[in-house]
């Protein structure tokens, strides 16, 4: 009695291997696309967190602004808030330090846009000398544009103090500041910050008794 012991031919084996390789290639492409999507979403989420953090820092500093003029390194007095369309500097009350380290209760901070980066500089000494160096750091990269506007209670201004004011109101603060950050990946984010109301006039000196 004869048994049929016929096996697979070489052509059948090659066809099976080809089909298996094709299926594996499709499966690998799908998995690779999912991994790239996951990595892209993680990078985008990280970038969004950086943007939200930068906007939060600016808003926090603006909400603690105080009407305290400063003196720049060569003796000229600076208004409590000095701003243009793409940069601003102001005096604000220092924030609590969660690490319990010593830090200034009042400091001068500034924000500017250079080389597509949003940077923050802080002076812990308000009346500076030419040798006084700021503590500077970049808050956000790949920034297309930043913008600041200043509301005086009646209209929006592109600079502060308003142009033509003479003498410059050193203690005057706008009623609100609007700032925006434009990035290529997320577009433009805008935030409006109401500033604390202060008396623009300096306090009267105490009378001198004879």
CATH number at residue 94: 3.10.610.10
pLDDT tens for 144-190 read: 999 999 999 999 999 999 875 555 578 899 999 999 999 988 889 99
The answer to the question of residue 208 being in a domain is no
The answer to the question of residue 12 being in a domain is no
Mean pLDDT of the chain: 80
**Percent of the chain residues past pLDDT 70, beyond the cut:** 74
Measured CA distances, 53 to 1, 47, 48, 157, 193 (Å): 84, 10, 8, 26, 16
Q: How sure is the predictor about 42, in pLDDT bands with cuts at 50, 70 and 90?
A: low
The answer to the question of residue 108 being in a domain is yes
Q: How sure is the predictor about 43, in pLDDT bands with cuts at 50, 70 and 90?
A: confident
Q: How far, in whole angstroms, is CA 209 from its chain's centroid?
A: 51
What's the number of domains the chain is made of? 1
The answer to the question of residue 9 being in a domain is no
Q: Give the integer Cα–Cα distance in Å for 22 and 17.
A: 9
**Percent of the chain residues past pLDDT 90, beyond the cut:** 42
pTM: 0.71
Give the CA diameter of the chain: 139
The answer to the question of residue 173 being in a domain is yes
The answer to the question of residue 123 being in a domain is yes
For 127, the token pair is 């009346």
The residue segments making up the domain with residue 182 are 51-194
Q: Does 23 have pLDDT greater than 90? A: no
The answer to the question of residue 35 being in a domain is no
The answer to the question of residue 22 being in a domain is no
Q: Which helix (H) or strand (E) holds 71?
A: strand 70-71
Q: Does 57 have pLDDT greater than 90? A: yes
């Amino acid at each position: 009695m004869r048994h049929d012991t016929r096996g697979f031919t070489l052509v059948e084996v090659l066809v099976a291997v080809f089909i298996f390789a094709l299926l594996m290639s499709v499966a690998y492409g799908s998995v690779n696309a999912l991994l790239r999507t996951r990595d892209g979403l993680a990078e985008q989420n990280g970038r969004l967190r950086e943007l939200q953090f930068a906007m939060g820092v600016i808003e926090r500093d603006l909400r603690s602004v105080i009407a305290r003029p400063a003196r720049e390194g060569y003796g000229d007095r600076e208004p409590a808030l000095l701003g243009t369309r793409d940069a601003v500097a102001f005096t604000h009350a220092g924030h609590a330090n969660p690490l319990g380290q010593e830090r200034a209760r009042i400091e001068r901070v500034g924000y500017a846009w250079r080389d597509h980066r949003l940077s923050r500089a802080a002076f812990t000494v308000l009346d500076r000398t030419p040798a006084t160096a700021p503590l500077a750091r970049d808050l956000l990269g790949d920034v297309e544009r930043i913008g600041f506007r200043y509301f005086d209670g009646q209209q929006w201004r592109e600079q502060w103090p308003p142009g033509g004011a003479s003498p410059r109101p050193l203690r005057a603060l706008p009623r609100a500041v609007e700032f925006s950050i434009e990035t290529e990946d997320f577009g433009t984010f805008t935030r409006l910050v109401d500033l604390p109301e202060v008396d623009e006039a300096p306090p009267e000196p105490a009378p001198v008794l004879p």
